[in-house]
């Protein structure tokens, strides 16, 4: 294993309900970056992420820094994440560290939860019950819950899907800062290809349960890849900052 | 307005303090209610006399008061406290693992199993090598554990989801209800009367043995319940989110199922089926102190005790000569409480 390779998948195959969802994925990704997992609906993105996070049984090898990832190393935000109970926002974030809390919750744990809330500008919501928040606010709180674990490997499945554009950008910017500060690896499924191209260091394109491409946004987001995987005709432009901008033209 | 980390910590500490006050205040109310229950009965006693009789011990003080309090009322009242606490805790745990606000300790058929066990011992107890007063609770206890093992077996062989647990519990419920009905059909009128009286749920059956057994079961399962306090709170996040945190949900559900069944079996085997306590007490606790099981568990226990001892006092007040079984009172009082829960949930959603 090379020192830089954080996440290594070797011929990973995942079946659900007897059906093959992810097939023969082999890849190696270095730590200290954001990797956007893209692909059309039903491509196997969520299943692959759940397997990486240890939530689904799989065949093949998934290693994080040379060994199977332990629950303590991984923060996982599932696509279906939601909380309807009357737990408060602060309690919900604290529960991100439920396995480390004693009967008395110390100031250090509270401060850490407070920092995670502040990171996503949620501290004013701390005493509010989760059931009173909007869908987007609940999503942000659960993201804070993932961050409070300070995972070295953060696996997010459409963690910004319920957010407005400003909050999506804000979250992605904060994830970049988190990666820079901690050297973590963030693997996130995201549907907005332009946002993905703007914030991700690498892109992983899935289609039909198979890995189609892995590289920089400019390498992955090609007209051919978009046509074969997404079934769309699109034009790729470059922004004034030199970042790829996708202009969808028509479905094929 | 920005809120600093120190403000968040102060706010949390204040909230925890208020929850502690709520638990302490409920405990104080329970102590008062216990004294009132001890003072209430066919021969009414001043609370001061009750207090002195307790302090003087079984053989001291006024003989008549001691004779009423120590062998008769104290075991009944303490059994009420312990059964209420057991049902309150079991109800909170059941609602948590089944993710269902209408779940109770009896949702998975435990009461039907206990009822069948009791009926079996009442009918055929004379053939057993125990006296009647032990045969009935032992049989009820064992049948409850048998019902648990059936549900546990299904949860073990399939995924321990709330749906699987509830469906297998419903099957167990109908099975034991059918057996119970069969015994009632076969029983002579005298035996049938005894079975029906057992099913009412009454503290009149309580003895110091029941106090000791329920207490021992409670103390035995306490380390498991207290050890899972954060896991159970995390389960309130919902299965998807809790699993994403690495919570071992199937193991937690199965372990909690066993503790619930032991608490429920211990509670009902001596006094019979007492409905609604295990349904209402958890709601009262959560409404007062929230979802954190560090506070909701003790408050659900206290609320269960308050409801049951309160029902006992009420039963003795409206019919001093022949106290109405608490099971009937909690069932009648539970219906409006259940409507209140349903309406409050509708309005909050």
This complex has an ipTM of: 0.89
Half-sphere exposure of B268 (CA within 13 A, CB side): 38
> How close B192 comes to chain A (CA, Å)?
45
The tokens describing B129, both together, are 């090598």
pLDDT at A93: 97
Closest residue in A to B249 (Cα–Cα): A55
Note whether B344 contacts A: Cβ–Cβ < 8 A. Answer: no
| pLDDT (tens digit per residue) in B213-272 | 999 999 999 999 999 999 999 999 999 899 999 899 999 999 999 999 999 999 989 999
pLDDT at A169: 93
Residue of A91, A117, A140, A148 to mutate for B, most B C-beta atoms under 10 A? A91
Chain B positions touching A114 (Cβ under 8 A) are 4-5, 8-9
User: Do β-strands A74-77 and A59-64 pair in parallel, antiparallel, or remain unpaired?
Assistant: unpaired
Chain A positions touching B241 (Cβ under 8 A) are 78, 81-83, 142, 145
CB atoms within 10 A of CB B128: 15
Q: Residue B27 and residue A91: Cα distance in Å, rounded?
A: 25
Which of 120-179 (A) contact B at CB < 8 A? Answer: 123-124, 126-127, 131, 142, 145-146, 149
Residue of A76, A90, A110 to mutate for B, most B C-beta atoms under 10 A? A110
Q: Residue B156 and residue B251: Cα distance in Å, rounded?
A: 9
Mark B187-220 as b/e (b = at least 16 C-beta within 10 Å). Answer: beeebbebbeebbbbbbbbbbeebbebbbebbee
| pLDDT (tens digit per residue) in B328-349 | 999 888 888 878 877 776 665 5
pLDDT at A3: 44
Chain B positions touching A49 (Cβ under 8 A) are none
Q: Residue A1: name the closest of A53, A64, A52, A49 by CA.
A: A64
pLDDT at B113: 94
Q: In which band, very low, low, confident or very high, does the pLDDT at A252 lie, cut at 50, 70 and 90?
A: confident
- Whether residue A81 and residue B243 make contact (CB cut-off 8 A), yes or no, is no
- Whether residue A83 and residue B348 make contact (CB cut-off 8 A), yes or no, is no
Q: In which band, very low, low, confident or very high, does the pLDDT at B88 lie, cut at 50, 70 and 90?
A: very high
The tokens describing A186, both together, are 């963030």
| Cα A117 to chain centroid, rounded | 18
Chain B positions touching A146 (Cβ under 8 A) are 244
pTM for this structure?
0.91
> How close A15 comes to chain B (CA, Å)?
17
Q: In which band, very low, low, confident or very high, does the pLDDT at B2 lie, cut at 50, 70 and 90?
A: low
Give the nearest partner residue to B294 out of A74, A85, A103, using CB atoms: A103
Closest residue in B to A81 (Cα–Cα): B241
| pLDDT (tens digit per residue) in A213-247 | 999 998 999 889 989 999 999 988 888 887 788 89
| pLDDT (tens digit per residue) in B136-164 | 899 999 999 999 999 999 888 877 889 99
- Mean pLDDT over residues B93-107, rounded? 90
- Whether residue A123 and residue B348 make contact (CB cut-off 8 A), yes or no, is no
Q: Residue A73 and residue A80: Cα distance in Å, rounded?
A: 21
Note whether A87 contacts B: Cβ–Cβ < 8 A. Answer: yes
Cα angle, residue B62 at apex, residues B57 and B64 outer, rounded to 5°: 100
Note whether B243 contacts A: Cβ–Cβ < 8 A. Answer: yes
- Whether residue A78 and residue B240 make contact (CB cut-off 8 A), yes or no, is yes
Note whether A111 contacts B: Cβ–Cβ < 8 A. Answer: yes
> How close A232 comes to chain B (CA, Å)?
33
Give the nearest partner residue to A84 out of B238, B244, B245, using CB atoms: B238
Higher pLDDT, B226 or B275: B226
DSSP run (H or E) holding B338: helix B326-348
Q: Residue B266 and residue A239: Cα distance in Å, rounded?
A: 72
Three-state secondary structure string covering A115-179: HHHHHCCCHHHCCCEHHHCCHHHHHHHHHHHHHHCCCCEEEEECCCCCCCHHHHHHHHHHHHHHH
Chain B positions touching A86 (Cβ under 8 A) are 286, 290-291
DSSP 8-class letter at B53: H
Residue A250 β-bridge partners: A233
User: Do β-strands A153-157 and A185-189 pair in parallel, antiparallel, or remain unpaired?
Assistant: parallel
- Mean pLDDT over residues B25-45, rounded? 94
pLDDT at A2: 44
Chain A positions touching B347 (Cβ under 8 A) are none
The tokens describing B295, both together, are 């506070």
- Mean pLDDT over residues B267-296, rounded? 93
Distance (Å) of CA B43 to CA A150, B80, B81, B320? 65, 19, 21, 8
Cβ atoms of B179 and B208 closer than 8 Å: no
What is the maximum span of chain B, computed from C-alpha positions, in angstroms?
Answer: 75
> How close A112 comes to chain B (CA, Å)?
9
Give the nearest partner residue to A126 out of B3, B230, B348, using CB atoms: B3
pLDDT at A98: 95
Note whether A202 contacts B: Cβ–Cβ < 8 A. Answer: no
Distance (Å) of CA B341 to CA B22, B135, B280, B344? 20, 38, 8, 5
For B27, counting Cβ atoms within 10 Å of its Cβ (0-12 exposed, 13-18 middle, 19+ buried), the class is: middle
- Whether residue A78 and residue B3 make contact (CB cut-off 8 A), yes or no, is no
């Amino acid at each position: 294993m090379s020192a830089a390779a954080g996440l290594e998948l070797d011929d990973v195959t995942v079946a659900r309900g007897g059906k093959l969802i992810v097939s023969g994925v082999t890849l190696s990704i270095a730590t200290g970056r954001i990797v956007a997992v893209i692909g059309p609906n039903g491509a196997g993105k969520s299943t692959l992420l759940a397997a990486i996070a240890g939530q689904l049984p799989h065949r093949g090898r998934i290693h994080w820094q040379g060994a199977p990832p332990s629950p303590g190393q991984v923060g996982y935000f599932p696509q279906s994440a939601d909380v309807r109970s009357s737990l408060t926002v602060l309690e919900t974030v604290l529960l991100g560290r439920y396995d480390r809390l004693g009967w008395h919750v110390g100031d250090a744990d509270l401060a850490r939860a407070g920092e995670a809330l502040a990171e996503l500008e949620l501290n004013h919501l701390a005493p509010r019950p989760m059931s009173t928040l909007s869908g987007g606010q609940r999503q942000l709180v659960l993201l804070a819950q993932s961050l409070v674990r300070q995972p070295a490997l953060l696996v997010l499945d459409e963690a910004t899907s319920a957010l407005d554009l400003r909050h999506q950008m804000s979250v992605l910017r904060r994830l970049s800062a988190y990666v820079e500060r901690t050297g973590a690896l963030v693997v996130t499924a995201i549907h907005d290809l332009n946002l993905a191209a703007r914030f991700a260091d690498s892109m992983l394109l899935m289609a039909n349960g198979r890995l189609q491409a892995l590289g920089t946004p400019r390498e992955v987001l090609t007209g051919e890849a978009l046509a074969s995987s997404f079934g769309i005709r699109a034009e790729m432009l470059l922004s004034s900052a030199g970042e790829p901008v996708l202009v969808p033209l028509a479905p094929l | 307005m920005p809120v600093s980390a120190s403000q968040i910590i102060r706010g949390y500490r204040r909230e925890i303090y208020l929850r502690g006050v709520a638990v302490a205040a409920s405990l104080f109310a329970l102590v008062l209610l216990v004294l009132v229950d001890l003072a209430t009965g066919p021969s009414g006693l001043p609370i001061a006399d009750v207090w002195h009789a307790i302090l003087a011990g079984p053989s001291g003080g006024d003989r008549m008061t001691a004779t009423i309090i120590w062998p008769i009322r104290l075991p009944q009242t303490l059994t009420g406290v312990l059964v209420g606490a057991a049902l309150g805790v079991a109800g909170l745990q059941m609602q948590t693992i089944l993710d269902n606000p209408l779940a109770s300790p009896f949702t998975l058929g435990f009461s039907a199993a206990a009822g069948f066990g009791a009926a079996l011992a009442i009918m055929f107890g004379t053939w057993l090598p125990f006296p009647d007063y032990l045969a009935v609770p032992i049989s009820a206890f064992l049948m409850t554990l048998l019902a648990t093992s059936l549900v546990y077996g299904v949860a073990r062989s399939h995924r321990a989801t709330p749906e699987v647990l509830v469906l297998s519990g419903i099957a167990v419920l109908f099975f034991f209800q059918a057996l119970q009905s069969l015994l009632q059909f076969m029983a002579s009128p005298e035996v049938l009367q005894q079975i029906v009286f057992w099913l009412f749920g009454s503290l009149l059956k309580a003895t110091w043995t029941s106090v000791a057994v329920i207490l021992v079961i409670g103390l035995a399962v306490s380390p498991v319940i207290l050890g899972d306090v954060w896991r159970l709170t995390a389960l309130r996040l919902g299965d998807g989110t809790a699993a994403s945190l690495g919570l071992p949900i199937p193991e937690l559900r199965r372990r909690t199922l066993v503790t619930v069944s032991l608490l429920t079996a211990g509670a009902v085997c001596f006094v019979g089926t007492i409905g609604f306590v295990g349904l209402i007490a958890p709601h009262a606790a959560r409404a007062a102190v929230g979802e954190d099981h560090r506070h909701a568990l003790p408050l659900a226990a206290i609320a269960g005790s308050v409801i049951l001892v309160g029902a006992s006092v009420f039963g003795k007040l409206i019919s001093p000569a022949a106290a109405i079984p608490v099971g009937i009172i909690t069932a009648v009082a539970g219906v409006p409480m259940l409507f209140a829960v349903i309406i409050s949930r509708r309005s909050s959603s």
